[in-house]
């Protein structure tokens, strides 16, 4: 069985999860679930980044021990994973002993390679990013472009890593495709950074009390970004479980935000090169979630709470929104109006309506037993739906393999839309009245097959909804043993399978005005 090791970036433990955290975890989970359904042995890791000075400052502000505060924050991120049905294998906290061992071992390996040296440093430092920047990377007023706060000019004696020794080799690996960065816009951005020149950077801070002590010099603390990146090999067993590490490393995919590509696409691979370890197979950088075109912030009051949205509309509905309505790699909208629109249009009116109407007609016209397909009774409209159903797997899998979730969802809903149109065009109730039994049965068979194929395709995206559909269809599919490629082949033998309508999957969300209008019509 082919292995697939996937990670998200680990999240700062200084505040509760926001929409961006939910988005990154969901799209990573969709990939992990898809790979499992394709027969891969998947290891999926997320976690919390805990040695930030911002974390220590927040804990102090609250009168809490930093470690105890981090443990509390980790619980909130685990709860987010649970709420959104994120199928993680491991959750790592960088304050764990296994991680300290891993950091020490990797630092010593880099030092042994002759790539660590001590020097004085003077540079511009953003407290929120906990990173140094060149003047060109800041605004003219020396503001951080990410956080908009004034950078501090800091002078310290630190330990440095020789990045410049490896930048040309890294550039060649990126250009050849040996080290993959996607989407292409981020790959080009990294190549541009490397061509402009990249300097050695500090891997330690002097006198910082919160963090992992630097091996060989306890007066220095390992820089939080250096510490955090190492979580990916820690989770894979580096320094603690040789057999596990041999199985899972290198990672097949790191999923990160576009704002941290410099760390993951330049510094991290160079750290691994220096230590003699393999580089991850691919790094995929997604965009930001925006609220009506603006970045979310508490100051602007435009933050959309992912916990509240999942509780209000259901986690599967939000998962679907992230997959279908946000183009992976680009910035995307995330606001309640858009969520409602997607829910009503795609889930209630399209998918939910198709399932309810189709199963209801099977119950009404066939006593709940799925009918056979009569090829000789099929007209051009039925054949068009059949052709689209047959083509779904090729188009869907091609999109999913490229992490193009919106493209994959478009293929699924193009199929369900065609099926809904077939109901209107063929009018099964008329076929029944006219005694056209074979035509009626063929339409219903095609509708059931459409729903089956769509539900299997949706299972990585909507893991709570797909089993509900399978139950309505009388299918004994189990997520943990489903062979997606096999089950997405057109031509399931439906004859005699018992189906049931049951409750609506996605009751349409009605606004106050619609409720009032409906009540007024009833009174009339």
Give the separation between CA 393 and CA 379, rounded to whole angstroms.
23
Residue of 3, 112, 145, 295 with catalytic role: 295
Q: Is 42 helix (H, G, I), strand (E, B) or coil?
A: strand
Please say if 513 is a catalytic residue.
no
User: Looking at 70, 144, 265, 366, which residue is catalytic?
Assistant: 144
Cα separation of 346 and 177, whole Å? 38
371 by Cβ neighbours in 10 Å (0-12 / 13-18 / 19+) ranks as buried
Contact 261, 181 (CB under 8 A): yes
H/E segment holding residue 222: strand 217-222
265 is an active site residue: no
3-class DSSP assignment, residue 206? strand
Q: What phi and psi values does residue 41 have, to the nearest 5 degrees?
A: -90, 110
DSSP string spanning 107-124?
Answer: HHHHHHTT-EEEEEEEEE
Catalytic residue among 45, 70, 129, 366: 129
Of 70, 72, 71, 91, the C-alpha closest to 81 is 91
Separation of alpha carbons 84 and 22, rounded Å = 8
**Whether the Cβ atoms of residue 58 and residue 103 lie closer than 8 Å to each other:** no
- Report the phi/psi class of residue 130: left, alpha or beta, with left for phi > 0 and alpha for psi in -120 to 50: left
- 45, 70, 126, 265: which is the annotated catalytic residue? 126
**Is 21 among the residues known to form the active site?**
yes
Where helices occur in 143-285 by DSSP H, the ranges are 167-176, 184-196, 224-229, 231-235, 242-248, 261-262, 268-275
Distance CA 275, CA 158 (A): 20
Name the H helices within 350-458. Answer: 353-366, 380-401, 405-426, 428-433, 437-458
Residue 147 known to be catalytic: yes
129: annotated active-site residue: yes
> d(Cα 332, Cα 49) in Å, to the nearest integer?
25
Q: Which residues are catalytic?
A: 18, 21, 126, 129, 144, 147, 295, 298
């Amino acid at each position: 069985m082919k292995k697939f090791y996937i990670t998200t970036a680990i999240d700062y433990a200084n505040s509760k999860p926001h929409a961006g955290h939910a988005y990154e975890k969901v799209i990573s989970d969709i990939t992990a679930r898809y790979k499992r359904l394709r027969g891969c042995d998947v290891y999926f890791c997320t976690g919390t980044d805990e040695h930030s000075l911002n974390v220590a400052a927040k804990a102090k502000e609250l009168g809490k021990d930093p470690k105890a505060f981090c443990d509390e924050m980790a619980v909130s991120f685990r709860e987010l994973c649970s709420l959104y049905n994120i199928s993680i294998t491991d959750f790592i906290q960088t304050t764990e002993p296994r991680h300290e061992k891993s950091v020490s071992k990797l630092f010593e390996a880099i030092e042994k390679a002759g790539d660590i040296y001590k020097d004085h440093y003077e540079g511009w430092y953003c407290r929120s990013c906990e990173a140094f920047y060149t003047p060109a990377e800041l605004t003219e007023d020396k503001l951080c472009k990410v956080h908009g706060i004034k950078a501090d000019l800091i002078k310290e004696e630190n330990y440095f890593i020789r990045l410049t020794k490896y930048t040309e080799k890294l550039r060649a690996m990126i250009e050849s495709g040996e080290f993959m960065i996607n989407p292409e816009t981020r790959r080009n951005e990294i190549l541009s950074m490397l061509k402009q020149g990249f300097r050695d950077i500090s891997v330690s801070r002097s006198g910082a009390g919160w963090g992992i002590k630097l091996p060989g010099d306890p007066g220095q603390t390992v820089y939080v970004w250096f510490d955090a990146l190492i979580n990916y090999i820690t989770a894979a067993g580096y320094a603690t479980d040789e057999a596990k590490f041999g199985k899972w490393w290198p990672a097949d995919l790191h999923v990160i935000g576009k704002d941290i590509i410099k760390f993951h696409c330049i510094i991290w691979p160079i750290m691994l090169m220096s230590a003699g370890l393999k580089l991850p197979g691919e790094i995929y950088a997604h965009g930001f979630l925006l609220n009506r075109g603006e970045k979310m912030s508490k100051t602007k009051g435009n933050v959309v709470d992912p916990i509240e949205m999942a509780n209000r509309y259901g986690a599967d509905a939000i998962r679907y929104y992230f997959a279908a309505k946000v183009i992976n790699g680009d910035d995307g909208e995330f606001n309640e109006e858009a969520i409602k629109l997607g829910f009503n249009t795609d889930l209630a009116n399209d998918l939910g309506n198709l399932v309810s109407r189709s199963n209801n007609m099977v119950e009404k016209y066939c006593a709940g037993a799925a009918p056979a397909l009569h090829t000789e009774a099929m007209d051009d409209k039925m054949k068009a739906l059949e052709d689209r159903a047959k083509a779904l797997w090729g188009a869907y899998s091609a999109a999913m393999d490229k992490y193009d979730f919106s493209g994959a969802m478009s293929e699924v809903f193009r199929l369900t839309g065609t099926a809904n149109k077939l109901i209107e065009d063929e009018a099964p109730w008329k076929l029944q009245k006219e005694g056209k039994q074979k035509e009626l049965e063929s339409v219903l068979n095609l509708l059931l097959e459409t729903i089956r194929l769509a539900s299997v395709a949706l299972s990585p995206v909507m893991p709570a909804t797909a089993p509900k559909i399978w139950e309505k269809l009388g299918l004994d599919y189990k997520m943990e043993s489903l062979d997606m490629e096999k089950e997405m082949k057109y031509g399931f033998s439906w004859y005699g399978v018992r189906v049931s309508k049951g409750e609506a999957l996605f009751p349409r969300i009605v606004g106050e005005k619609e409720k009032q209008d409906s009540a007024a019509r009833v009174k009339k």
